[in-house]
Amino acid sequence: MAHGHLEKRGKTAWRLAVQTDGRRHTRTVHAATRKAAERSLRRFVDEVDRAPDDHDMTVPELVDFWIAHNATEWSSTPSGATKPNSLISNKLSLL
- In the predicted model, what is the mean pLDDT of residues 41-52? 85
pTM of the model: 0.59
Whole-Å CA distances, 93 to 54, 59, 89: 20, 11, 6
| pLDDT at position 74 over 60 | no
Percent residues over pLDDT 70 in the chain: 66
At residue 42 the predicted structure's pLDDT band, cuts being 50, 70 and 90, is very high
- In the predicted model, what is the mean pLDDT of residues 22-48? 91
Which residue type is seen at 82?
A: T
